[in-house]
Amino acid sequence: MKATSRGVDVRMATVDDLERIVVIYNHYVIHTPITFDLAPVTVDDRRGWFEQFSTTGRHRLFVAVDRGNVVGYTASHQFRTKAAYDTTVETTVYCAPGAVGNGVGSSLYLALFEAIAGEDIHSFLAAITLPNEASVALHQRFGFTLAGVTHAVGRKFDRYWDVGWYERILG
């Protein structure tokens, strides 16, 4: 599947995209509280993470490409390992710093949700470090609502951060 929107192509990720995915992710590790990883990851660190995704099923990984360069990615992945959680997936979306605010996140989510529309999924969850107005707005545009906030659950940059849990229930 390939979708084009707002000047970017969105397609399934391949292992060749992993290096760029790591660069994008590490920006957020180093400079923001958006992820609670404290140290940058390597491509080798992320290979196991990458292997959870498939071209079919609930767990997918897409990239946004602008002029041949990966500028963002989105994924739906397992929420918890117990079988009763199988119809719930957690979603994530990351954009390269220069791509934020240009519709890349929306293009990625459009492609992801279209691709997994026929899968046996009842609910989507997204964990958002607060404050993060851009991510909250993106998720709300895609029908997510605030389910609750866990307070002071992550310590990074010498302070504690809250996490907003957003959900989108189908059916």
Sign of the alpha-carbon torsion through 109, 110, 112, 113: positive
Q: What is the DSSP string of 10-59?
A: EEE--GGGHHHHHHHHHHHHHH-SSS---S---HHHHHHHHTT--SSSS-
- Residue 102's pLDDT is 85
Structural domains for the chain: 2-124 (3.40.630.30)
pLDDT tens digit at each of 171 positions of the chain: 444 445 799 999 999 999 999 999 999 999 999 999 999 999 999 999 999 999 999 999 999 999 999 999 999 999 999 999 999 999 999 999 988 888 999 999 999 999 999 999 999 999 999 999 999 999 999 999 999 999 999 999 999 999 999 999 997
Instruction: For residue 15, give the nearest of 43, 39, 40, 37 by alpha carbon.
Output: 43
Determine the straight-line distance between the first and last CA of the chain, rounded to whole angstroms.
25
Q: Distance from CA of residue 39 to its chain's centroid? A: 19
83, with CB counted inside 10 A (0-12, 13-18, 19+), is exposed
pLDDT at position 6 is: 56
Look at the block and give the residue holding tokens 């660190």.
45
Mutual angle of helices 104-115 and 133-141, in 10-degree steps = 40
Residue 140 to residue 129: CA distance in whole angstroms? 15
